[in-house]
Amino acid sequence: MSLVVQKYGGTSVGDPERIRRVAQRVVETAEGGDAVCVVVSAMGHTTDELIELAAQVSRDPHPREMDMLLTAGERISMALLSMAINDLGHNAVSFTGSQAGIVTDTTHGKAKIVEVRSARVREALEEGKIAIVAGFQGVSTARDVTTLGRGGSDTTAVAMAAALEADVCEIYTDVDGVYTADPRLVPGARKLRQVSFEEMLDLSANGAGVLALRSVEYARTHGVKLHVRSSFKPDEGTWVVKEEDVLEQAIVSGIAHDTGEAKVTIRAVPDRPGVAGRTFRPLAEAGINVDMIVQNTSVAGLADISFTLPESDLARAEPILEQLARAIDAEGFTCEREIAKVSVVGAGMRSNPGVAAAIFEALADEGINIEIISTSSIRVSCVVPARDAERAVNVIHERLRLADNVLLQADGV
């Protein structure tokens, strides 16, 4: 008998009919002889609606109360799914994150799981019950209810799978796997059979919302077998595997895009040792994650420094930047919100030069201006105007022939 963790996302449990369909699928798995622990997200757009509701009541909702509110979403779906399964003649029992033993740190809104005390869920499974766990939530070391950040039910699922030593963690969603690009944006995107943890980390970190970044990190660290698949179709989806287990390594695996970042330029910074440290230290101390830092060559002893940061952190960053521009004798700073980061990810880029050039040429041919470029050994990211993001992803997808299942040769690109 295997132990399976199945996670169903918001769309998959979006209405009563879909909840009954999920119940049916869970029951089929149980009847096949597997022990099943199910993790559920809030129904449809419930989380967005609750955030909106809070905004109508308070200008700056208290983080603890915000988490209390948001966890209600997953609580609704866990109870409804449990009822639907019980109606099918199986014994299901639901647990909040706290009851399931998900212990987190105290950072409301994006808490990190520090421990999973899975005894209660394990007991239920041993009694032959189907355990339903509310995703996206836990209880902090200070005994307050916390949430794990948007998309956090994926992380709950992986953490439960690790704690229960499950044979597989299945992420059921509204697409049938991980694609070469968001299939909503690129109609010709192709489903990947496998993707390595390293590539998936880069895709998730750069905007591919199909798997939450932390869930991929957690799965890699704890050796959880991860299978992303459709909740509406029975087909095999995408397996996230160790790099050495990838059967066919394409040069490029996928393209992600992120419109949630903003670009800051600090102008005419005196070019002397210590300035970069003084610039980024106060931002780091405020917990603001900056990315894609570029400093141009100095003209007359002055250089511009540009970088990106999450748009949601911009309001907090602005007063810090004002102070710091004065402190380092810079001319001032500018912020641009209407940008997008387009990232091309593939482990095969390590040994195949030419991909970056092909990406830049594809953008140039379309007249899309690149504002910042950054690269790692398996990723090339370009900041482009937000209005060009969709076109940029499509033209790069086409230029790199990602729709065809070919192992690209760089010089053929």
Judged by DSSP in three states, 137 sits in strand
Q: Looking at 70, 175, 262, 269, which residue binds ligand ADP (CB under 6 A)?
A: 175
Strand partners, 115: 103
C-alpha–C-alpha distance, residues 354 and 345, integer Å: 14
Query: Helix or strand or coil: residue 240?
Result: strand
Work out whether 242 is an interface residue with ligand ADP (CB under 6 A): no
Of 144-163, which residues contact ligand ADP (CB under 6 A)? 151
Q: Which one of ligand ASP, ligand ADP, Mg ion, none interacts with residue 152, CB within 5 to 8 A by kind?
A: ligand ASP
Least CB distance to ligand ADP at residue 11 (A): 5
Provide the 8-state DSSP code for 182.
-
Of the ranges 50-58, 156-164, 172-180, 285-293, which one interacts with ligand ADP (CB under 6 A)?
A: 172-180
Only segment of 40-48, 88-96, 101-109, 335-343 that touches ligand ASP (CB under 6 A): 40-48
The answer to whether 283 and 317 are in contact (CB under 8 A) is yes
Q: Does 138 bind ligand ADP (CB under 6 A)?
A: no
Q: How far is CA 113 from the centre of its chain?
A: 16
Structural contact between residues 253 and 345, judged by C-beta atoms closer than 8 angstroms? yes
- Cα 221 to Cα 107, 179, 207, 214, 241, distances in angstroms: 21, 23, 21, 10, 12
Beta-ladder partners of 104: 113, 140
Minimum CB–partner distance for residue 413 and ligand ADP (Å): 20
Q: Pick out residues in 53-112 that bind ligand ASP (CB under 6 A).
A: 73
Instruction: State the minimum distance, in angstroms, from the CB of residue 342 to ligand ADP.
Output: 12
Check if the beta carbon of residue 103 is closer than 8 Å to that of residue 113: yes
**One residue of 8, 95, 136, 333 binding ligand ASP per CB under 6 A:** 136
Query: How does strand 302-310 pair with strand 339-345?
Result: unpaired
Determine phi and psi for 238, rounding to 5 degrees. Answer: -115, 130
47 binds, among Mg ion, ligand ASP, ligand ADP, none (CB under 5 to 8 A by kind): ligand ASP
- Signed CA dihedral, 276, 278, 283, 286: sign only: positive
Using rule CB under 6 A, residue 207 touches ligand ASP: no
Contact flag: residue 151 with Mg ion (CB under 5 A): yes
Closer residue to ligand ASP in complex, CB, 95/136: 136
At closest approach, how far in Å is the CB of 395 from ligand ADP? Answer: 17
Comparison of 177 and 346: residue with beta carbon closer to ligand ASP: 177
The per-type count for the chain, helices as H runs and strands as E runs, is: 11, 20
Cα 37 off chain centre by: 22
Q: Which stretch binds ligand ASP (CB under 6 A): 29-37, 145-153, 171-179, 357-365?
A: 145-153
**7 within 8 A of 38, measured Cβ to Cβ:** yes
Residues near ligand ASP (CB under 6 A), total: 13
- Told to check if 73 binds Mg ion by CB under 5 A, we report no
Binding mask 2-21 for ligand ADP (x = CB under 6 A): -------xxxx---------
| Interaction site with Mg ion (CB under 5 A) | 9, 151
